[in-house]
């Protein structure tokens, strides 16, 4: 009798605990045609649309069971693309072969990032979470593997790396961080930069790519002066996994939705928030204090008061051990800029999460958040904008707004504000197929380097001289723009490379305001009896605050002009279109948006 009674209780408890949870934990991918505004609003308000992909007028979404129910009940037409995303992930990856790795994007730069950034030896193929792919393929790093990598780095580079914990997760797991800098044990007066990953537990590349970045910095420190200067003149702090409980749950084998090879789609942390057993987890990136819980007039993707929602913002701002740890750590430092890495979507989501509640960015802030994301995205093609401009919905209580204007900010806190943003790596899935891991890491690595440069002295030089050099003795004109957050004095030097007799002395100046410019020139002379048409080459060097950048320039001495057309006349003066007739439907001059002068030449001058 007793035994029967006990079994009955246990069976009842298991049913009570597991049924609501498992009912939540199947994820499906759907294609939702957004044919009018109401459907878009429905997606944001009832489906917690988050990190979706738009294909033309179609929205590609991953939905949990209750969101799928809401979609079915809505009556809106949709196409079920994948019934069980986790199982599909495993099946898809099991067919990937080691020789089928996606190359890194070339982006809109002239060199290939896949060649510029080599995979660190210590990173190798990453971790053991291969999502069902065979050995020999790259994999995501488990949290314990991340920790091992960080320990190995601290052991191998004790003067450059320190490993520490910023606090514990809800389950008591240490949240590990590393500092990378020269004289790492000393708190030097160098710009401090912060990288965080895996606030959202399923956005796997956001953590693994930060381990790649750490190892890239360390392995190139001795051999690459650019990396050495960066590490020597910055204090780089990296927290690869803010949410270790949620991340580990996604490869825990807790159910078919969480296979031990990875691919689980849990988003929040794993704290039981009270009440029903299924009330688990807070969306950490809705738990910061700026605009916390203020989603009036916005959709549910903004944040939700429902404990079972994927965007539950928690009972109060900083209610979670993980966000408390981040807050305490940020308050203990003097960060100047930061990126909180997420995926997927291919964009930089900038302040504000709720732009409708704040004065638009202006001045230096606007310049920083325009120029720096453009540089960071040179090789990954990311777009940039505030939350509605990128993710298409408003976000309340996100980390980026707190970094910029929270209780550490210039408004109410003791320190300067932190120029924070959210990065959404590409890859097309929360767990991008494993043959994209290396490419995504390389694309993120370049982005991360650019942000570290921008934390301190960083300048762009523009050579303002014509392609044709016509004077034997003259001046090389340059314009330097300040794009870094520090404004130390800068020195511009011309280094002669080819066919330059003399060059003048270096010039030094200070650009006090962010995005300000300094225009000047350095004299030169060419060898006596120099012959027309010969090549002249020199290097611009800009040095400031221990960081040097170089740009090689080629010019021609009095070249023979074959054709000179400033396009201010008529197309037919110099040109004959052979592909299609000149005129409204083919090649011709147009005055629409000319770069210099009043006209330019276009393949379809009427714009179609």
- Which residues make up the interface to Zn ion (CB under 5 A)? 200, 203, 342
Q: In whole angstroms, give the CA distance from residue 421 to residue 196.
A: 11
Least distance from Zn ion to the Cβ atom of residue 194, Å: 17
Q: Other CB atoms closer than 10 Å to residue 539's CB: what's the count?
A: 13
Least distance from Zn ion to the Cβ atom of residue 363, Å: 29
Q: In whole angstroms, give the CA distance from residue 428 to residue 52.
A: 9
Q: Can 543 be counted among the known catalytic residues?
A: no
Q: In whole angstroms, give the CA distance from residue 16 to residue 411.
A: 48
- Whichever of 387 and 486 has its CB closer to Zn ion, that residue is 387
Residue 579 Cα distances to 261, 489, 575, 603, 605, angstroms:
55, 53, 12, 10, 14
User: DSSP for 225-285?
Assistant: HHHHHHHHT-EEEEES-S-HHHHHHTTS-SSTTS-TTS-----S---B-SSSTT-B---GG
Least distance from Zn ion to the Cβ atom of residue 34, Å: 21
- Whichever of 48 and 233 has its CB closer to Zn ion, that residue is 48
Q: Look-up: residue for tokens 């020195």? A: 491
Q: In whole angstroms, give the CA distance from residue 267 to residue 256.
A: 16
- Whichever of 63 and 180 has its CB closer to Zn ion, that residue is 63
Q: In whole angstroms, give the CA distance from residue 360 to residue 389.
A: 13
Least distance from Zn ion to the Cβ atom of residue 199, Å: 7
**Six-digit token pair at 600?**
């330019």
Could you list the beta-strand ranges (E) of 438-579.
459-463, 468-469, 473-482, 490-498, 502-503, 507-509, 517-525, 535-544, 547-557
- Whichever of 203 and 235 has its CB closer to Zn ion, that residue is 203
Least distance from Zn ion to the Cβ atom of residue 48, Å: 12
Report which of 47, 46, 42 is spatially closest to residue 28, judged by C-alpha positions.
47
Phi, psi of 487 (to 5 degrees): -125, 45
- Whichever of 203 and 310 has its CB closer to Zn ion, that residue is 203
Least distance from Zn ion to the Cβ atom of residue 51, Å: 6
**Six-digit token pair at 359?**
């004065």
- Whichever of 67 and 203 has its CB closer to Zn ion, that residue is 203
- Give the CA count within 13 Å in the CB-facing half-sphere of 77: 5
Least distance from Zn ion to the Cβ atom of residue 342, Å: 3
User: DSSP for 392-411?
Assistant: SS--SS-HHHHHHHSTTSTT
Contact between 90 and 263 (Cβ < 8 Å): yes
- Whichever of 342 and 400 has its CB closer to Zn ion, that residue is 342
Least distance from Zn ion to the Cβ atom of residue 267, Å: 7
Q: What angle do CA 199, 205, 211 make, to 5 degrees?
A: 90
- Whichever of 231 and 295 has its CB closer to Zn ion, that residue is 295
Contact between 248 and 127 (Cβ < 8 Å): no
Q: In whole angstroms, give the CA distance from residue 310 to residue 600.
A: 51
Query: Pick the catalytic residue: 219, 424, 443, 543?
Result: 424
Q: At what angle do helices 363-376 and 437-454 cross, to 10 degrees?
A: 150
Least distance from Zn ion to the Cβ atom of residue 200, Å: 4
- Whichever of 200 and 327 has its CB closer to Zn ion, that residue is 200
Cis peptide before 288 (omega within 30 of 0): no
Active site residues: 424
């Amino acid at each position: 009798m007793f035994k029967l009674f006990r079994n009955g209780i246990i069976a009842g408890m298991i049913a009570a605990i597991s049924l609501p949870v498992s009912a939540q934990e199947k994820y499906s991918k759907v294609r939702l045609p957004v044919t009018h505004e109401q459907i878009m609003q429905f997606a944001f308000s009832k489906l917690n649309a988050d990190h979706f992909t738009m294909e033309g007028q179609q929205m590609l979404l991953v939905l949990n069971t209750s969101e799928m129910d809401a979609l079915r009940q809505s009556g809106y037409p949709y196409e079920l693309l994948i019934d069980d995303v986790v199982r599909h992930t495993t099946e898809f990856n099991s067919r990937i072969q080691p020789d089928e790795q996606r190359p890194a994007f070339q982006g809109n730069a002239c060199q290939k990032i896949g060649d510029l950034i080599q995979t660190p030896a210590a990173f190798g193929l990453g971790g053991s979470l291969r999502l069902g792919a065979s050995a020999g393929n790259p994999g995501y790093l488990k949290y314990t593997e991340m920790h091992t990598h960080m320990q190995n780095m601290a052991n191998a580079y004790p003067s450059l790396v320190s490993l520490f914990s910023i606090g514990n997760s809800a389950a008591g797991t240490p949240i590990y961080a590393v500092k990378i800098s020269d004289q790492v044990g000393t708190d030097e007066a160098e710009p401090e930069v912060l990288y965080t990953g895996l606030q959202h537990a399923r956005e796997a590349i956001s953590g693994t790519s930060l381990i790649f970045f750490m190892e890239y910095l360390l392995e190139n420190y001795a051999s690459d002066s650019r990396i050495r200067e960066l590490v020597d003149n910055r204090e780089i702090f990296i927290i690869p996994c803010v949410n270790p409980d949620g991340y580990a749950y996604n490869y825990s084998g807790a159910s078919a939705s969480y296979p031990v090879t990875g691919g689980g789609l849990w988003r929040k942390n794993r704290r039981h928030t009270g009440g029903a057993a299924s009330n688990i987890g807070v969306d950490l990136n809705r738990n910061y204090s700026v605009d916390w819980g203020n989603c009036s007039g916005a959709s549910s993707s903004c944040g939700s008061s429902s404990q079972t929602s994927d965007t539950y913002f928690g009972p109060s701002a900083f209610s979670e051990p993980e966000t408390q740890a981040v807050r305490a750590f940020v308050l203990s430092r003097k960060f100047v800029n930061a990126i909180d890495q997420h995926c997927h979507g291919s964009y930089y989501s900038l302040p504000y999460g709720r732009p409708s509640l704040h004065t638009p960015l202006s001045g230096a802030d606007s310049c920083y958040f325009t120029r720096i994301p453009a540089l960071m995205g040179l090789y990954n093609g990311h777009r940039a904008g505030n939350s509605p401009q990128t993710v298409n919905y408003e976000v309340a209580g996100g980390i980026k707004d707190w970094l910029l204007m929270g209780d550490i900010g210039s408004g109410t806190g003791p320190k300067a504000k932190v120029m924070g943003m959210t990065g959404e790596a590409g890859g097309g899935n929360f767990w991008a197929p494993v043959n994209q891991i290396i490419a995504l890491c390389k694309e993120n690595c370049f982005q991360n380097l650019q942000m570290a440069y921008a934390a301190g002295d960083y300048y762009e030089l523009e050579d303002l001289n014509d392609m044709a050099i016509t004077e034997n003795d003259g001046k090389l004109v340059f314009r330097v723009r300040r794009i870094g957050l520090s404004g130390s004095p800068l020195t511009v030097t011309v280094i002669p490379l080819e066919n330059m007799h003399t060059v003048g002395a270096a010039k030094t100046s200070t650009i006090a305001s962010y995005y300000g410019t300094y225009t000047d020139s350095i004299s030169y002379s060419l060898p006596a009896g120099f012959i027309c048409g010969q090549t002249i080459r020199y290097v611009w060097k800009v040095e400031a605050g221990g960081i040097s950048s170089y740009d090689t320039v080629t010019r021609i001495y009095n070249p023979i002009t074959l054709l000179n057309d400033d396009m201010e006349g008529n197309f037919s003066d110099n040109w004959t279109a052979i592909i299609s007739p000149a005129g409204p439907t083919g090649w011709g001059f147009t005055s629409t948006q000319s770069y210099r002068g009043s006209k330019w030449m276009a393949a379809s001058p009427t714009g179609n």
